[in-house]
Amino acid sequence: MKRIITLDGGAATGKSTAMLRLSRALGWHGISTGHVYRAATVLAMAEDITPEQAPERLVARLQEGGLSYNQATHSYFLSRPGLGARPLPVEVLTSPEVSAKTPSYSRVPEVRAALLDFQRGLYRDPGLVADGRDCGTVVFPEAPLKIWLEVDGVEAARRLNRGQGVPFEQAYVDVLERNRLDRNRGTSPMAAAADAIVVDTTRLTADEVFAVVLELTRRRGLAPRVGE
Q: How far apart are CA 115 and CA 102, in angstroms?
A: 13
Report the alpha-carbon distance of residue 62 to residue 150 in Å, rounded. Answer: 31
- pLDDT reported for residue 166: 84
The residue ranges of every structural domain in the chain are: 1-25+134-217, 29-125
Q: What is the pLDDT of residue 73?
A: 78
**pTM recorded for the entire structure:** 0.91
Residue-level pLDDT at 227: 45
Which one of 1.10.510.10, 3.40.190.290, 3.30.310.50, 3.40.50.300 gives the CATH number of domain 1-25+134-217? 3.40.50.300
Task: Quote the radius of gyration of the chain (alpha carbons, Å).
Answer: 17
Q: What pLDDT tens digit does each residue of the chain (228 aa) get?
A: 899 999 999 999 999 999 999 999 999 999 999 999 999 999 999 999 999 999 999 999 999 999 999 877 778 999 988 788 899 998 999 898 998 899 999 999 999 999 999 999 999 999 999 999 999 999 999 999 999 999 999 999 999 899 888 899 999 998 999 899 889 988 889 999 999 999 999 999 999 999 999 999 999 999 876 444
- d(CA 183, CA 96) in angstroms, rounded, equals 22
Q: What is the pLDDT of residue 228?
A: 45
The number of C-alpha atoms within 13 Å of 213 and in the hemisphere containing its C-beta is 36
Instruction: Note the pLDDT of residue 220.
Output: 96
- Of the candidates 124, 105, 10, the residue with the CA atom closest to the CA atom of residue 67: 105
